[in-house]
């Protein structure tokens, strides 16, 4: 495990302390979870952008042409 020295504005530190207490976890756990969530979100965004770059309107339309043109069942209607 690594150690990271971090400078925070007092207001952010206070908010982190309060949230950690409310969640019954340490500030270290709170910061670790928050960082993990942010990294996961950014990585997911990159993945989706990469998939979109590889996409093709032609392939999409070809796939959609295979979908039956029927009304959805009652529970699937908007």
**What is the model's pLDDT at position 10?**
97
Residue 5 in domain = no
Number of separate domains in the chain: 1
Q: What residues make up the domain containing 38?
A: 15-65
Say whether pLDDT at 78 is over 90: no
pLDDT digits (tens, 9 = 90+) for 27-75: 999 999 999 999 999 999 999 999 999 999 999 999 999 998 898 899 9
- DSSP string for residues in 2-53: --------HHHHHHHHHHHHHHTS-HHHHHHHHHHHHHHHHHHHHHHHHHHH
Residue 36 in domain = yes
Q: How confident is the model at residue 8 (pLDDT cuts 50, 70, 90)?
A: very high
Does the pTM surpass 0.75? The reply is no
**What is the model's pLDDT at position 15?**
97
């Amino acid at each position: 495990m690594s150690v990271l020295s971090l400078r925070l504005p007092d207001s952010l530190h206070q908010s982190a302390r309060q949230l950690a207490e409310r969640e019954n976890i340490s500030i270290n756990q709170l910061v670790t979870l928050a960082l993990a969530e942010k990294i996961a979100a950014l990585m997911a965004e990159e993945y989706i952008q990469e998939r979109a770059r590889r996409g093709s309107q032609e392939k999409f339309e070809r796939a959609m042409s295979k979908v039956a043109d029927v009304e959805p069942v009652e529970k699937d209607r908007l």
